[in-house]
Structures are given as C-alpha cells and as structure tokens.
Amino acid sequence: MSDVMEKLVSLCKRKGFIFQSSEIYGGLNGCWDYGPLGVELLRNIKESWWRSMTYREDVEGIDASILMHAKVWEASGHVEGFNDPMVEDSKTNERFRLDHLLEEAGVECTDLTFDDMAAKVAELGLKSPKGNELTAPRQFNMMFRTHVGPVEDSASVVYLRPETAQGIFVNYLNVQQAMRQKLPFGIAQIGKAFRNEITTKNFLFRTREFEQMEMQYFVKPGEEEKWFDYWKQERRKWFTEALGIPASRLRWHEHGSGELAHYARQAFDIHFEFPFGWDEVEGIHNRGQFDLGQHEEFSGKQLKYFDEAAKEKFVPAVVETSIGASRSTMMVLSNAYDEEEVKGETRTVMRFHPKIAPLKVAILPLVKRDGMPDIARKIEADLRDHLRVFYDEGGAIGRRYRRMDEVGTPFCVTVDSDTLEDDTVTVRERDSMEQNRVKITDLLGELTNRMANWKHPAA
C-alpha cells in the first residue's frame, strides 16, 4: 500500500469516516462500514449526483428492488458472461485475477481475449506472486447466488444484483408511460450492487458490496453516438464542477476490444489518479439495443416504444453512465488528502469541495466564559437549519482548528472578545487559513457565497 493510502485508511478510521466491516470478528474482506462523517460525505456525493442527473425534464428517478426474477440475469447475459478470468496458486490456493497478474508482469491486456491471456501465461511461464505454479485459467462468475423462500431448489434461485441497470431496463415502459416521456429520456437510480470479486483491494476501490449511481438514456436507434458524446461531456463536468476534482487528475480511457463488456458496443471510462495509480471511476457505455432486445425475447413481452410523430414502433437504444458511489467516495477522499508544513509542524488537511464536505462550519467560542459559549450556541442554532454545523468548545483554539482541518471542515467561526463589542466573528478558511471578521447577521450569506465560489487549490 502506498504511504498516502496508509495514512488515508488510518485517518478514515480515527476520524469516523470508514470502519472495517465486522472488525471485532477480524473483519470481512471487501466490505466497509461508513461512520458518522463517512456517511455524511457519501450522502452528499449521492445527493449531488441525484440533483445533477434527475433535476431536469428528460430524466426520471427510480429505486428498484435488489432481488429480481432470476430470468433477468439470463436475459442480461450475466449468468453466462459476467465472469472474470481467474487463476489459483497451486500450493496456497490463493486466487488472482488473471488480467491483473499479467498487467503486473508488464502485459497490456486491453485487447486480449480470455484465450489470448491463457496463452500468455503459458508463453511467459507466469508464476504466482509467491513463486508457485498457477492452475489453468478459468472463468469465474461474480454474481452472489441465494434462494428465496424456504425451499432451496433451482426454482428458488435469485441473485444479489451485480449492477443496478437491470432494474431500470425492466421498468422502462412503466416509467415512460407513467410520466408520459418521449424519446430521448433517461432513468436514474442509486443503489447497492454486489460482486464476488476475486480479489478486493485498495480500500473502497474494489469491494464486494458497493453502491452504484447509474443512468440509462433511451434514444432512437442511430442516435446513440450523439448522445454518447453528450453524456461523456456532462459526466466529466460533474467531476470537476460538483466534486472539485482538478482536470489534471482525470483522463479518458477507451475500452479495447478485449475489454468491452458483453453488452457494450463502445465504452469510455473516466480514470482518476488514485494514490495507487490511474484507474476507473465511471464508465460511459453505448449498450445499443442489446438489453431491451434481450428482455423482449426472454420475457415474451413487447418492449417497443411507439413514436407518435413517425408512427413507428421500435426498441430504443441505450447510452449508460455508470459510476460507483463508494468508488467516488474513495476518489474524493484521495483527492482531498493533503499535508503541509505550518510553523514547523505538519498540518493534515482534507480539501473537500465545501458542498460535499461532511461538516460545513465549526462554531468555536474562544474561551468557555464571558458569555462566549451562549453567543456561539445561538449562532449554531441559527445556522443549523441551513448548514451541517459542529460545535466545539474543548481545548486550545489552534488544536480545534487542526481537528477541523483533518476532517475537511471548510470554515471555522470563532466567537471572541471583539464579538462582545461589535457583533462580529472571525471566519477562518480551511485551505488558506486566512481569517477575517464578518458581522453575525451576514454570516450565512457570506459562507454560502464562499462555498459556491470555491476552487481546489490545485485546480
């Protein structure tokens, strides 16, 4: 693990962002719990996505169930094709993703099929990381299978959904008709997804239980490319404008032929520069008519759209934007982490975009006397309806500022002896540490303004 990753994992635990799942029992690999500040951050990211995707005329939201009819996953191709190539260490039985092992050995896998990769293993005489022989590569299906009801037979099989998209496809006509939508229109959803990943690593990056934020945009066949380009631009804008990710830490990655998912005709990923290297955060996929076509065939139900103007019926094509909420949180945490020297000491500061920061403002009476706590409590009560505030009167003011820097609170408001004279407070900014005086009556407007105009110092 890189140095920054270690520090991040430790800060996340210490400050109540992320805890290991079932920690007192030794933990469960690939599962994490969000603590008080983590859940606030996650919710802010999801809320930002939801607003940007559904507060518009042409996109509707839904929340479909996690368990679906087993046939959904036959139709979608997941039972047959949702596989990762796997090899095992023949001595220790540790399992590895074949493409990851090959990439570590310097082989670019983007355009390789499963058979190509298997051939490469033989050609290179590839060994496990412990130097042992590897078993023959095989395909491993990543869906979690379980049963509904009391009888565990083949008729009761269900899967924990490995993506949220299918809940949207099977509801597309319900939504279109209920909301009287016309093409092009989209359906957005945020929800849990589960994948039995062969290996989990890099903290929240690759987990077995995670949350996705997906949007499927239904278009007239032939218009996919136009909308694909449109959504590519829209989505990238959200990273820089809503999350404050500097453009220098983002880049596009186009899927090669061996990399394309079974449903995709064209795919671009948005990659972010994580502390462990560049990797995917979001995929924009041109799924064509694959999904709705498959569901028509497997369900026997008509899923055609009737175009009133042209008086024709057809199965729409789909452009999808798919991003992990948990992986976005990992990106936001990595992007925010910073250290700097201040007066001979290291200051750790999480430079979150104020709009998604878990706490927006800390209210700090300089001392616990002279009526300062009362004024501070009054300010806290006034701001609480508008912003997530935090009150702290314990310890030296410098220490309290540092504690707020470490959890990324963009503003500290200090009530001091001048406040008693002129009804002003000190507003201290997290990033620059600059302080200036603001009238208590102007405080909300001032903070809202600064939040809206914030720029990442590296941008």
Please, what is the minimum distance in Å from the beta carbon of residue 350 to ligand ATP? 21
> What gap in Å lies between CA 409 and CA 415, rounded to an integer?
17
Please, what is the minimum distance in Å from the beta carbon of residue 332 to ligand ATP? 12
Q: Which residue's CB is nearer to ligand ATP, number 118 or number 261? A: 261
Q: Which residue's CB is nearer to ligand ATP, number 72 or number 323? A: 323
Contacts of 122 (CB under 8 A, 6+ apart): none
Please, what is the minimum distance in Å from the beta carbon of residue 328 to ligand ATP? 7
> What gap in Å lies between CA 373 and CA 282, rounded to an integer?
46
> What gap in Å lies between CA 14 and CA 24, rounded to an integer?
16
Contact positions toward ligand ATP, by CB under 6 A? 163, 195, 197, 206-207, 210, 212, 280-283, 322-324, 326-327
- DSSP line for 278-345: EEEEEEEEEEETHHHHHHHHHH-----EEETTTTEEEPPEEEEEEEEHHHHHHHHHHHHEEEEEETTE
Contacts of 101 (CB under 8 A, 6+ apart): 87, 126, 128, 129, 134
- Burial class of residue 169 (count of CB atoms within 10 Å of its CB; 0-12, 13-18, 19+): buried
Please choose, from the candidates 30, 8, 11, the residue with its C-alpha nearest in 3D space to the C-alpha of residue 21.
Answer: 30
> What gap in Å lies between CA 361 and CA 388, rounded to an integer?
7
Q: Which residue's CB is nearer to ligand ATP, number 117 or number 383? A: 117
Instruction: Tell me how far CA of residue 116 lies from CA of 106, 136, 217, 255, in angstroms.
Output: 15, 13, 34, 17
Please choose, from the candidates 342, 338, 363, 365, the residue with its C-alpha nearest in 3D space to the C-alpha of residue 352.
Answer: 338
CA angle 355, 361, 366 (to 5 degrees): 165
CA angle 81, 63, 192 (to 5 degrees): 50
